[in-house]
Amino acid sequence: MRLRLPEERPKEPPTGYKIAHPVLSQDGTRAGFTGVSLGGALPYGVVDEASCVYGRRHRAPHRRCDCGFHCVHESSVAEAMLCTAEHRAAVLLEVSVLGAYIRFERGFRYARQRVRSAGVGPCGCGAVAAALADAGWGRPGWRVLTAACAGCLRGRTSLSLASFARLAGAGLRVRAAGVEALEGAATGPGGAATGPGVAELVAEAALLQARLDWFQSQLGRLHDRGTQG
């Protein structure tokens, strides 16, 4: 006689928390996330379905495997992971647990998820993040992004937080520490799109100014070299 695990049928999808690295596809047309541990080699979208990282044909999550998405119940537990040196550049995700799941004492292992929001930490210099910029490493076909302020972009491939949210789609909200959440598109009564909000326009303007300052500095260096030659 085989014991069966108890089944849950919640009215609303459970909420969980995890950390991940934001990523941008090589051609710049897609945005998503990649995990920090077991599933780090398989970037995923805002709404996505898990597969077995070992290439087995069973559906995730399988009771005799550790495949599937993972998250914890409490945001404070996920935030604590950001204190370690190797995870300082990761972002905090709030997710909806979809499909079949296995509940553990500290979290879930589950089949599908929707990333509802992403919390971005400060730039490496300590300033509030205005963008997500090329971190200098990645996965095949994907650039990993990290928080950057307008003054630290220095010509790197980058997206404003609102642009990343818009590119990722599915209503993802992205928030920098101390800044209100930015969505891909603001909506009015009835869900109609109303265009970018004030916070998004301010962030975009700051990035444009930073890029102009960088190009001007590069032009100044070229001019100095020309006069010296």
pLDDT tens digits, 117-173 = 999 999 999 999 999 999 999 999 999 999 999 889 888 999 999 999 999 999 999
The alpha-helical segments, DSSP class H, found in 82-190 are 161-168
> For residues 112 and 52, what is the distance between their CA atoms, to the nearest angstrom?
12
Average pLDDT over the chain, rounded to an integer? 85
Could you tell me the sign of the dihedral formed by the alpha carbons of 22, 24, 29, 30, in that order? negative
pLDDT at 211 over 80: no
The pTM is what?
A: 0.79
pLDDT of residue 153: 86
* Helical (H) or strand (E) element with 25: strand 15-25
Identify whether the C-beta of residue 33 lies closer than 8 Å to the C-beta of residue 23.
Answer: yes
Strand 107-120, strand 173-176: pairing: parallel
- What's the token pair of residue 175? 């928030």
pLDDT at 178 over 90: no
pLDDT of residue 2: 59
Confidence of residue 38 (pLDDT cuts 50, 70, 90): confident
Cis? peptide before 61, omega within 30° of 0: yes
